Structure formats: structure tokens, C-alpha cells
Structure 1
Amino acid sequence: MTAFPLPPGSVIGVLGGGQLGRMLALAAARLGFDVAVLEPEADSPAARVAAHAVVGAYDDPSALARLAELSDVVTYEFENVPARAVATLAELGVETAPCARALAVAQDRVAEKTFLNEAGVATVAFAAAHDAAGAAEAVAQVGVPALMKTCRDGYDGKGQRWVEHLADAAAAFAALGGDPVIVEAPADFMRELSVIAVRARGGEIAIYPPGENHHENGVLRRTSAPAQVSRKAAEQIERIAHQILNSLDYVGVIGIELFELKGGRLLVNELAPRVHNTGHWTQDGCEVDQFEQHVRAVAGWPLGPTEPHHRVEMTNLLGEEAAAWAALAAEPESRLHLYGKREMKAGRKMGHVNRLHPLK
């Protein structure tokens, strides 16, 4: 049985070797921890800054056993890791955080929205479907226009289609691959907000100021934080975060995406049971960023402060945009974060830049 808090020198395992794992590993190193990364691809961004690298599939029993052998606690960097992998690690006697339930909830959009509603958190109206006839029934129930999404694996605008007419429902279902879908009512929102929150092993909760997000072609382009929100909205955000974290008995950082409607009402769009792209602004805008905060939580350490000391505009660098690194590094107000990916591809997240402004 792992004893918490973990002392420096302990090993934190990470399922996933992408940019989030890389930034988690760097944050863990600052606190004196080593990191072991399990990733299917060799030479991953996270593995190159970690003390240990295990190359293998996330559901490979021998790879999971090796990660368990190395680690004092295991976390994950993205929610498409099989929930069964986290359960297997727990069976091997390794503490995992966040829990397998949080991962399972976030991996299925119907399960996610059902959980949110049961936790007393509002979402758009939705219906589930498993075949073409059910998809038509779901669209009829929700009304048109409606957004049809695959229940699993969609991200950055992928795996979804708008249905403008009821007669188009079956074709949309087929175009999405014939897999189970969720049909969502549109949200007439003024803007998208997100909040990064963290819950410690003892149940303490800390919440960062919300950010305002802007997307292009379904991909997050930039986040501005702290966002200007009313006291009513701030109170809603705090209540929502507490309800979600406590209902899951959560440990670690979570990203919560929200729609702000006219009149100030907030609906939750999605959960991410991990550190989150919309929280990258905290790296240069706060005393303790989301990555260190996550390491603190899973290791059983006290949470750090979440107060901002700068206003930040975070911009994702996609594809060849990262080639402008020299010019970006020369901007005195900018802080450049590159992910160490070997190949630039169109639309691929290669890094981000945080531009700092005084708090008003």
C-alpha cells in the first residue's frame, strides 16, 4: 500500500507520451520526482525528458506490469487510454489517479452527460442512438438542427456532424461510421469558457480563474485568461467544479469546458480528466501551474496557490507555425513552449506561446 505524501525521489508513472506527459514530467522533476512513461511509440516527447520509458501498448500486460514495477503512483495524460489499463494497474497494487471511473465517464459522451446531470450539473439536451433508426429517433427527440457525435474517440472537431433535417439523420449516422452516437441540442451560447480545477487526496479543492476560448475548425486556437466573468458566473463555476470533483471522488487536475448562455447561465460541454490545453496559460500566469498542481495532487502533497499574477493569451502553434520559434522567442512579452515533436504536420499541435499582459 502506497504511503502518501510521496517523498522526493519517488516515481510517478504516466500513461501517454505526448506533450501533456512531457510537461507533467518537467513539472515532476522540479519537485524532485522521477517519471516513468508508458507509450506505444518510441522516442516520444515525454519519454525524452523522463527517467524511465516503457514502450508498449496501453493494454499490453507486460508493459503495464513494468510500469507498475517502476511507479509509486500512476496518472495519465489523455483520456483515450483504455479504462481497463487503469483498472489493471490498480489490480497490480499501484495507486492510480485520477480514478478509472473518471476515465470511463470521460471516454463516452453519453456516460459523461448522464453523469453530469446526475451530479446536478446542467448540459444541453441529448439522446443516444446505436443504429440508423435510433439516430433518427434521437434527432426527432432533440429537434433540428442537432449535433451528432460519435460516443467515443472524437476530438478537435472530429467525429461529429450537424443534422439540419430529420431526413438526414440516417445518412449522418452512416457517415460517422455506424458506431454509437449522441445527438445534442445546439447551445445558443455567447462564448465558451473553461476552468481548470484540482482536488487533493484529502478532498481539498482549488480552482483557477476561468479562461475564454476561441476555436478554429474545431481546434482550440487561443485561450485568454483570466476571463472577465460576473460574480454570478464565478459562483456557478465554483459550484460546478465542486459537484463534479466530489461526485467522482477525484484526485488531480480536471479541465471543464463550459458554454455561457445569454443571461449568464452556464452549461457544461465536456470534461477532461487530466491537465488541459486551455490551462496552459497557468504556466506563465500563475504561481503554480496546472502541471505542478497535478503532480502535487497525485503525490499527496498540499495544493499550491491558483492566483494569477499576469493576464495571459495562450495561442496554440499548429504545424509550420512552430517554425517561427526564433521570432516568437524574441518577443519580450512572450513565453514559448515547444513540445519536441520530430515532424511538423498541418494542424498538429507543435507548441504554444503565452503572451503576458499586466493584470487589470
Structure 2
Amino acid sequence: MRPVLPGSTIGVLGGGQLGRMLALAGRHMGYRFVTLDPTEDSPCGQVADRQITAPYNDAEAARELAQLSDVITYEFENVDAGVAAMLESASRVPQGSSLLYTTQHRLREKRAIEAAGVRVAPYEEITSAANLREAIGRLGAPCVLKTATGGYDGKGQWVIRSAEEADEAYAALSQAQTELVLEKFIRFERELSVVAARSPRGEVRAFPAAENIHEDNILHLSIVPARAPEEVLKRAERMAVQIAESLDVVGLIAVEMFQTPEGDLFVNELAPRPHNSGHYTMEACATSQFEQHIRAVCNLPLGSTELLTPVVMVNLLGEHVEPLLRWLAEQVQEDLQVTPKLHLYGKKEAKTKRKMGHVNLLVNDVKDALKWIEGTGVWSR
């Protein structure tokens, strides 16, 4: 459990934008980086000391990563759990493979959250179309059918609005050849998320809760402070800490929640890594989520999670990049009420709906940030 001190090499399983921002944060602290990713010139590979270009399930490449690294982390949860388990025996992987095994499967994840004493939306495992029709009768419509594995940004799920849709929904999602889970539809007032960090020494800290707004099932905005009662926000942070401690998390865990009009909170899902809704921390908090993750996996004391300024994070998708760059080049920045901080991820091709970067808007009042977003015209639908 000795600390992994600056000057050491951190291996990153995955070369996407989260790995990139981890490496940029770690470089400030004096760490070196090597990443494993199947895509040449990956976002993380561009800023790491070295990239191993190979599939995630390539055992030989994983062994090479282990040989080059003093500690290994992963930047997204769909890493092959078997490779992560193999790495545990060959290197230091503080996050471990157990948490991956749990969070890669919605049923296991829900049961783990319940075991932590935290509420999830009522759900049932689905094994057949007939079973689905019966479950809809018990949970009521609308409800949401999801694949137990895979799926992100709205993929791998079907909102069922009446029992008549059961056969069609089952036929479509059962093609994934994985277990299915049916969730009761929660009529929520807002979506919240909390990113918490835990170190091997047992220290736990939670960042302030973010209010998240999605468009087409993709995160559009994260607003901090969230526009919810203070008691609800503190309870959300306590729930995230409770889950981090129950699951023996090392590194970050992002806890996504629904808040009902009555103030009840239901956990929707977990992500055992840095999270899109935590990008606001890069300029708005005393410690960013990326530095905090490095501190945690290296068993250093965790940093302060104090919020220094209100902030709105807005995602840049492929269709937003060119108009935003053009707007930034042409506009005179006279509005001192909003300080925009641009982060681009180094992806070569700006595809529609693909996450290409984000902007953190530092403000005194989040209303000013929302006006700024609308005024640019970049995010108009």
C-alpha cells in the first residue's frame, strides 16, 4: 500500500479523452504515462510518453503495459475484466477487477447498490417475452428495458410505453444476447450526479453534486451548484460516499441519480472512472477529478473538493466544433460575466453526436452561462 510517488509511470488501459485528461493532470505532478489503445494516435496517446497500439483483450500487449508501468488504471469500464484480472497478478492495479465485474453488468450493479443501503428504481430480470409482459404488469408502464451489458448514451435500451410494445422491445434487445433488465420509469424533477474518490488508505471525498441535462440521451450540460435544495445535494453526496465505501472503490466512482419532485433520490447507474459530468472540476474546484483519481490510485492524500466558482460544463459534439471555433475567432470577448475554458480531445474526425470536447463556463451566476450558450448559437438545435 506504499504511495506511488511522482516520477513513476502510470499505465492507462484505454486511450480516450478521459485517459488524455488523466495524463495531462498527472504530468503537472511529475508522472510519466503509457497507454494501451487499439486506435493509433489516440487522444491519450498524443500526450502520453508511449502508446501500445493493440486491442484491449490482447494479453501480450497488456503484459507489456504491466512491464512498463509502476501502477495501472483504466479510463473506461468496458475494459476486458479478464485482462484486468491478469494485470492484477502481474502489476499493481489498485482499482482491481472486482469493481469492473460489478459495474459491467446492470443486474450485479443494482444488487451491489442495494447492498450498500442505497435505493435504485424498482427492477426485474427479464428472461423471455412472456416474462417481460408479466413484469410490465407489475412495474407498470412506462418502463425501460435495458441490456445488462454494453450500451451507453442511450444505446441498448427501449422505453416501453404500453404492454403492446413488449414483444417488439424484447425481440430488438434480445439480439444483444445478454441478460435484460426492466426498470420502473421514475418521473424525476432533475438528474444529479456525484463523483466520489476513495484511496487504498480509506480516505473518501465527494465533489459537489452536478445537475445534468441530456439531449438525445447524451449529456449536454452539467450545472454546479445544482439547482436543488441543499439538503438533497448533501444527501446525494452522502449516498455516493456510502457506495464508494461499500464497494471498496479505489479511484473515482461516478453515481448518477434521479431526484423526484418529492426530493427522493434513486441511483440510476455507476461509472468506476472519471466522468463526463465531473469535467467541471477542472477549473471550478480546488482539485480536478483527474488529479484526484491519480492521487487515489497512487495512494496519496486526497485533495480538497471545494467548489471555487459556479460553473456550467457544456459538451462539444462533432457538429458543434466548427461553429464554436469560428465563433471564438470572430467574437470580441467583452462579457466579463462568463469565462469560457475550452478543452478539445484531439480526435481526428468530428462526427455528428461524437464527443469532441467540452467548455467550462466560469460564472458568478449560472444564468449568465446559460445565456452565453444560447447567445453563441453553436448549440442551437
| Bin for the TM-score computed over the shorter chain | over 0.9
What does residue range 181-192 of structure 1 map to in structure 2 within 5 Å? Answer: 181-192=180-191
How far apart, CA to CA, are the structure 1 residues paired with 2:190 and 2:102?
25
Residue 325 of structure 1 pairs with residue 325 of structure 2: yes
Task: Determine the structure 2 residue equivalent to 1:77.
Answer: 75
**Deviation of the 1:326 alpha carbon:** 5.0
| Residue identity in the other structure for 1:251 | V
Equivalent residue for 2:364? 358
Q: What SS does the corresponding residue of 2:295 show, helix, strand or coil?
A: helix
- AA matched with 1:80: N
- The corresponding residue for 1:32 is 30
User: What is aligned with 2:283?
Assistant: 284
| 2:102 is the alignment partner of 1:105 | yes
Structure 2 match to 1:176: 173
Q: Which of 57, 63, 73 is equivalent to 2:61?
A: 63
SS in 2 for 1:48: coil
Q: Aligned partners of 2:12 and 2:23: how far apart in 1?
A: 8
1:238 and 1:279 mapped to 2: Cα distance?
13
SS at the partner of 1:354?
Answer: strand
Aligned to 2:355, which of 349, 353, 356? 349
Question: How far apart are the structure 2 equivalents of 1:223 and 1:254?
Answer: 17
Residues in 2 aligned to 1:321 and 1:91: alpha-carbon distance in whole angstroms: 44
What is the CA–CA distance in structure 2 between the aligned matches of 1:139 and 1:164, rounded to whole Å?
10
Matched residue type, 1:266: L
Q: 1:142 — aligned with what?
A: 139
Distance of 1:328 and 1:256 partners within structure 2: 34
Q: How many residues end up aligned between the 2 structures?
A: 357
Give the distance between the partners of 1:320 and 1:154, measured in 2 at CA: 22
Task: Give yes or no for contact 1:328–1:334 (8 Å, CA) kept in 2.
Answer: no
Q: How many Å separate the matches in 2 of 1:284 and 1:326?
A: 24
Percent of aligned pairs with the same amino acid: 45
Letter in 1 for 2:325: W
d(CA) in 2 for partners of 1:235 and 1:315?
24
User: What secondary structure is seen at the aligned counterpart in 2 of 1:316?
Assistant: strand
Q: Distance in 2 between matches of 1:238 and 1:219?
A: 23
Q: Give the Å deviation of 1:234.
A: 3.2
Instruction: Tell me the secondary structure at the aligned position of residue 346 of structure 1.
Output: coil
The alpha-carbon deviation at position 338 of structure 1 amounts to 0.2
The residue aligned with 2:371 is none
Corresponding residue for residue 369 of structure 2 = none
The SS at the match of 2:114 is: helix
Equivalence for 2:150? 153
Structure 1 residues 248-279: Cα deviation after superposition (integer angstroms, max 9, x where no partner): 11111111111111221111111010000000
Is the 8 Å Cα contact of residues 10 and 34 (structure 1) preserved in structure 2?
A: yes
Q: Unpaired runs of 5+ in structure 1?
A: none
Q: Partners of 2:83 and 2:55 in 1: how far apart?
A: 10
Tell me the residue number matched to 2:370.
none
Q: In the superposition, relative to structure 1, how do residues 326 and 292 fare at CA in structure 2: closer, same or farther (>3 Å)?
A: farther
- Residue identity opposite 1:253 in structure 2: L
Question: C-alpha displacement at 1:188, in angstroms?
Answer: 1.3
Matched residue, 1:338: 344
Whole-angstrom distance in 2 between the partners of 1:24 and 1:326? 28
The AA in structure 1 aligned to 2:251 is: G
4+ runs deviating over 6 angstroms: none
Q: Per-residue deviation at 1:170?
A: 2.0
1:131: Cα distance to partner? 3.0
TM-score, normalised via structure 1 length: 0.95
1:67 & 1:319 partners in 2: Cα distance? 31
For the 8 Å contact 1:135–1:181, the answer to whether it is kept is no
Matched residue of 1:47: which SS?
A: coil
Give the structure 2 partner of residue 162 of structure 1. Answer: 159
Name the aligned partner's letter for residue 77 of structure 1. E
CA positional deviation for 1:218: 0.4
Shift in alpha-carbon separation, 1:128–1:72, aligned structure 2, 3 A:
same
Cα contact 1:127–1:141 (8 A) shared by 2: no
- Aligned residue number for residue 119 of structure 2: 122
The answer on 1:5 being equivalent to 2:9 is no
- The letter for the 1-side match of 2:83 is A
Partner deviation per Cα, 1:89-109 (whole Å, 9 max, x = no partner): 0122x1213221211121111
Aligned to 1:22: 20
Q: Distance in 2 between matches of 1:112 and 1:141?
A: 22
Deviation at 1:166?
A: 2.0
Inter-partner Cα distance in structure 2 for 1:328 and 1:200: 40
| Residue pair 2:112, 2:247 contacting (<8 A) in 1 also | no
- SS of the residue corresponding to residue 158 of structure 2 reads strand
CA-to-partner distance for each residue in 1:296-337, whole Å, 9 max, x for gaps?
A: 110111111111111111000111311222534764610000
Shift of 1:118: 1.4
Is the Cα contact below 8 Å between 2:88 and 2:96 reproduced in 1? no
Paired amino acid for 1:19: Q
Structure 2 residues not aligned, in runs of 5+: 367-381
Aligned residues: CA RMSD = 1.6
TM (norm. structure 2) is 0.90
